[in-house]
Structure 1
Amino acid sequence: MAVTRSQRTLLCSAIGREVRAFRRRHGMKVSDLAAATNLSAGMLWKIENGEISPSLTTLQAISRGLAVPITWLVGRVETERTAVFSTAATDTSAAGRVGQQHILLSDTEANAEGLRVESHLISLTCETDVFPAIGQEGTVFLYLLQGEVAYRHGAKVYRLTPGDSLFFDAATRHHVDELVQLPVRCLSVTTRRQDR
């Protein structure tokens, strides 16, 4: 996969920040690092400011001059990761059938890898209709908080009690097979690729 100009710029900036941070942590001036690496102070200044992309040989010289592994200079170079904060006041409730409540705890936009995550708090308080078997792209993580259920994934049925969890490929048909003990409260986290 080809690296775009903006990705290259981010990469150069991130490497430059790491070089500057380690140099300062070691109490070194640019001229001190230049002497330790046999690189010019001007080149190091350009690297630290993200103006040029250092070669592997140059990064190796800098890592030796700073006495840190080369991976420390590039280990944090990645797409910015974000966090999603959802307050209780902003959660979205989606009422199901009688005796069912699905509260959407969070629904993220796809991250840099195209992964989308959705989490629900599911409450079942009385016998309800038959649960249809579903299958979709992605994965599902279920964590039972209260009650007891038999949950079918493909041909196998799993009996979950409080504290039990089930993680599975969602493409295989799955559903609640039996409500063994009510009320049931379950945390459900689904992940899927946004592009699918």
Structure 2
Amino acid sequence: MNTPDEVQPKLKLEQYLGIQIKRQRQAQELKLADVARIAGISQGMLSKIENAQVSTSLDILSRLCDVLGMPMSKLFSQYDQQGGSALLVKRDEGLEVVRRGTEKGHTYHLLNHTRGPKKSFEAYMVTMDDASEEFPTFSHPGTEFLHLLEGELVYRHGNQLYPMEAGDSLTFDGEIPHGPEKLVQVPIRLLSIMNYGTSGE
């Protein structure tokens, strides 16, 4: 029997999203087939999403939210608030996302799920295991913080090159083109935090 102070297990992201999407659909008395058709996915795929049998992309989630009239930011913010205001993402459970030019040997796992127009930061665990891969440069608003957890690489920011070993950190202006220049020792695990701040206010 649970005691009042006992912490209830947090639902995995896929389970939580499936429950919320199904509840919203049923609350509006919408048929599975109709929601799937309007969102441009198969009925089987929607059923798997609702029953947490598959991980889905942010694009599909966005389309489902549009059909259901639910802001995507609200969907994720409700997940953050389960039993409190903290968000725990367990090891290897970050949402995998794709960034331009990262087709092979290079994965991004999103560690925070508050997505939407008012997001102030994003945190990623970046994994690189192909030393021969050539990387594009990135640029984005705000400031980026990198902390190298494993491996060794040379990181480019503008015209400057920064050799980094495990334990090193690098902070820089995200507007200036940047990215890995050379992977010296793989595998590499890199924590990347992008702080978008409140520019323009």
User: What is the TM-score of this pair, normalised by structure 2?
Assistant: 0.49
**Does the alignment pair 1:142 with 2:142?**
no
Superposed CA offset, 1:86-106 (max 9, x none): 332863122542212211111
2:105 counterpart letter in structure 1: G
Could you say if the C-alpha distance between residues 191 and 87 of structure 1 is closer, same or farther in structure 2, counting changes exceeding 3 Å? same
Match for residue 164 of structure 1? 168
Contact 2:131 2:182 in 1 (8 A): no
CA distance in 1, matches of 2:179, 2:191: 15
**Which has the larger share of strand?**
1
Contact 1:105 1:120 in 2 (8 A): yes
Contact 1:98 1:128 in 2 (8 A): no
Match for residue 16 of structure 1? none
- Counterparts of residues 1-196 of structure 1 (less than 5 Å): 83-88=85-90, 91-94=94-97, 96-108=102-114, 116-193=120-197
SS of alignment partner, residue 106 of structure 1: coil
CA distance in 1, matches of 2:115, 2:197: 11
Match for residue 54 of structure 1? none
SS of alignment partner, residue 182 of structure 1: strand
CA distance in 1, matches of 2:195, 2:113: 10
Superposed CA offset, 1:111-134 (max 9, x none): 9xx661100001111235321112
Aligned positions, number: 113
Contact 1:107 1:116 in 2 (8 A): no
The root-mean-square deviation of aligned C-alpha atoms, in Å, is 2.7
Contact 1:107 1:117 in 2 (8 A): no
Could you say if the C-alpha distance between residues 83 and 158 of structure 1 is closer, same or farther in structure 2, counting changes exceeding 3 Å? farther
CA distance in 2, matches of 1:107, 1:116: 12
Unaligned runs of 5+ in 2: 1-83
Contact 1:107 1:119 in 2 (8 A): no
User: What is the TM-score of this pair, normalised by structure 1?
Assistant: 0.51
CA distance in 2, matches of 1:183, 1:87: 22
The structure with the largest alpha-carbon Rg is 1
Match for residue 23 of structure 1? none
1:97 counterpart letter in structure 2: E
Unaligned runs of 5+ in 1: 1-81
Post-superposition shift, 1:174?
0.6
